[in-house]
Structure 1
C-alpha cells in the first residue's frame, strides 16, 4: 500500500475534526453530513481497493461530450437502506442527500445512504461522512471512525493476467437458437413485437481475480461507457462497462436514449465504416431501435413535455457498434426519480415490447436468474440523478466469473446471427483477461 499524505490525509483530518466537534442539539436533522473537499485527482478505484467496509459502490459516469463533466463516485458502508423507490424518493425529498444503488432486472430495489461518499469532478475531490442523529452518538462515531481508518490508503491497480476455462453455458448454442425460434413464433402470433433473450456463461480461473483490477482494466479499454462496481461483501462483486444510459436528470430536464441495433467492430477501420453504413441502412436494426424509442416516449409522456427525439447515430465501442437515438424531455412539476425509474426501467432494449408480455416469455424461457444483469445502478439527489443500464456485466466471485449478454429478437432475426452477437458482447469483458486466448469460447 502507498499513502498520498498531502491530499487524502488532509481530507481525513478535516472529517475527523468535524466528527470530534459534532454534538447533537434540539431540532437536530435526522442525518448529519460532514463534508470536506480539496483540489485533487484521485483514482477512486485504487482508493476503493484499500477499503475494508462494505457495501462498496463505484460509478464512473459516461461523458458524451467535452462539455460534460467526468463524474466518479465511490462509497463505502451504509447508514440507511431503502427497499422501494418510493421510500428512497421520500428520503431524498426530506433530507436531500445522495443515495446510491438501483434496481435489479425484475425490479427489486437496493438504495442506500452510504457512510462515506467520495465524488471526483473536474479535479475536485469531495468527501462526505454521514452520521445518523437518531441513533446512539457513541456508536455512530465509532462506525464513522472505522470508515475513516483506511481513508488515506490506496492500493496500486494491477494488470489482470489469467487464463479462464468455460465451466458452463446456461443455454448451449442449439438451446439458445431454439429460444429464438420460439420467440419468433410468438412474434408471428402477435404476443409481442420484440423480446430480448440473454444467456449466462460461467468461467473459472486458476487464481482468484480481483474484481476492482478487472474493472480498472475494462475502464481503460472500454471507453465511452459507464463503469460500475457493486459489492455487498468481500470476494463477491458485480461489475461492468455499459454503453447505455437509462437516464440523466438535471433538475427537471431529462435525457434518455434508445440503444438498439448492433454491428461488429474490428481492427480494420474500413470494415468498421462499412459495417456502420450497413447498420444505419438495415431495416431490421432500424425497426428494433424505433421500437425502443416508441416504448420510452410512450412510457414518459404522462409526466413530461417537449419530448425531442434526435436523429439516429452510431455508438462505437471496442467490439461492437450500436444505433442510438438520444431523447430529451422536460419533467412536469413535482415529478422525480420514482416516476422516471418505474416508467423507463426495464426498457424495450433489455426486455421487449409490450413489456409485460415479453417479461412473461423471458420468465418461462430463460434458465437463469438475471439479478443485476440488465438492471440499473446509479445515484439520485434532489438536483440530479444518473442511472446506467447494467449491461456488459459479470459477477466475480474469487476464481469464478458469471458473464451475461443478450440480443433483441424481432421479426427477421436470424437465430445463428443473434447467437454470434451475444458471444461478441460476452467477450468484451473476458477478452481483458490476458492469456485467456482460446479458452474464452470453448
Structure 2
C-alpha cells in the first residue's frame, strides 16, 4: 500500500527460491529463475504476472518471494476514507524481552563508534529487537488495520510467511521504477517529534542543522550516487537533503531520480544493486556487514531487507523493511536500527531505536 500503487494478492502460483544476492545480474541465476517463473505464470493463464514479497538483509539467503494467482488494485485514499481501518482489540501482552539488553546494546554502540573512528569504516548500522508474547494468537489483519490507521502516509505491507506474516509501515523508498524512470528516497539521520507544534518544527530544523546527522546522511547519498551512476542517464541527486516525517520521527531525506541506461533493467535488478544501502548497513558495505555479524547477537533475517513487487515489464516498487514486525501465532518480534558514526553516543542511539520501536508498540497500544 503506497502513494503510487496499492493492491492485494490472492493465492500463490509459485515461489522464487534462488537467493537475490545475484539479483542485479541480468544473466544471474536469480533473474533467470524470475523470467522463467513469469513465463510459466503467463502460460498458465495469469495475465500480467507480478512477483511480490520480501528479500532478507543477507541477500545470499533464500527470499520470501512468490507470484500470486491473482491481484487487484485499490485506491489508497478511498480505502482510508471509506472504511474503518482501526481494527478491533488485540491480545493482551504478557511478556516483552529486549535483545540485546540496554547495557549490551550500549556496549555494541561504543565498539562501533571506536571502529568508525579508525578511518577504515565510516558508518555502521546496529539494530535491536523486542520480542513480545501475547496471551492469544495475534490477528495480523486487525494489527495491519491499526498500523495503516496510525501510518496512513507510509509504505504499508503485509507479507504471508510459512510461519506467520511480516507486516509494517516503512517510511523509506528504496527503488521505484515505471518504464525507464526510477526514483529512490534514502533516509538517514532522524530526530524525535514533539506533540507541541512549535517544538516539533524546531526539532525538524535542528535535525537539518545537525552536523552529525548531515554527515551520516551524506555517506548514504554518496554511495547511492556511485552505485547508480553507471546504470543511469540524467541521474539527479540534490545537493541538500530535505525533511520527511512519520508520526514519531523526523528524517533527513534526499529524493533521487533518473532514467535507466538499459531499458531491459527491471526494478528488482536495481533494488538488488542498491541493497543493502548504507542507511541499513553502513559504509563501506563489506566492512560494515562484517562488524554487524560480529556485534549483533541475532540474525536479522527479513528485517533490514526489502519488501515490494515487480512486474514482467520491469516496473516495481521496493521499500526498506523497517518499522515492522514478524508475527507467528502469539509471538511478535519488532526491529529497529540506528546509524553509528564517530559522533554517535550509546545513550542517544538507545533512545533513537526506542523511538523507532514506538511505531509498532503504538499499534499494540503499548506506547
**TM-score tier after normalising by the smaller chain length:** 0.7 to 0.9
- What is the Cα deviation at residue 116 of structure 1? 2.4
Equivalence for 1:76 = 10
1:161-310 equivalence runs, <5 A: 161-233=90-162, 236-310=164-238
Equivalent of 1:359 in 289, 310, 334: 289
Task: Judge conservation of contact 1:225–1:241 (CA < 8 Å) in 2.
Answer: yes
Equivalence for 1:103 = 55
User: How big is each residue's C-alpha offset from its partner over 1:66-87, in whole Å with a ceiling of 9 and x where there is no partner?
Assistant: xxx4x22211321122223313
* Larger RCO (CA under 8 A, 6+ residues apart): 2
User: How big is each residue's C-alpha offset from its partner over 1:152-171, in whole Å with a ceiling of 9 and x where there is no partner?
Assistant: xx999732344424432111
User: How big is each residue's C-alpha offset from its partner over 1:369-424, in whole Å with a ceiling of 9 and x where there is no partner?
Assistant: 11111111111111521111110011112222111100000110011001000011
Equivalence for 1:45 = none
- Residue aligned with 1:189, SS: coil
Q: Which whole-Å CA distance do the structure 2 matches of 1:286 and 1:254 have between them? A: 24
Equivalence for 1:390 = 321
Task: Judge conservation of contact 2:95–2:134 (CA < 8 Å) in 1.
Answer: no
Equivalent of 2:355 in 397, 415, 424: 424
- What is the Cα deviation at residue 89 of structure 1? 4.1
Closer/same/farther in 2, CA of residues 378 and 318 from structure 1, 3 Å limit:
same
Q: Does 1:399 align with 2:326?
A: no
Q: Highest Rg: 1 or 2?
A: 1
Task: Judge conservation of contact 2:6–2:76 (CA < 8 Å) in 1.
Answer: no
Equivalence for 2:309 = 379
Q: Does 1:86 align with 2:86?
A: no
Q: Which whole-Å CA distance do the structure 1 matches of 2:275 and 2:85 have between them? A: 36
Equivalent of 2:342 in 374, 399, 411: 411
Closer/same/farther in 2, CA of residues 165 and 294 from structure 1, 3 Å limit:
farther
- Residue aligned with 2:322, SS: coil
Please provide the CA RMSD for this pair: 2.3
Task: Judge conservation of contact 1:237–1:395 (CA < 8 Å) in 2.
Answer: yes
Task: Judge conservation of contact 1:88–1:111 (CA < 8 Å) in 2.
Answer: no
> How many residues matched?
341
- Residue aligned with 1:431, SS: helix
| Runs (5+) with no aligned partner, structure 2 | 19-29, 43-47
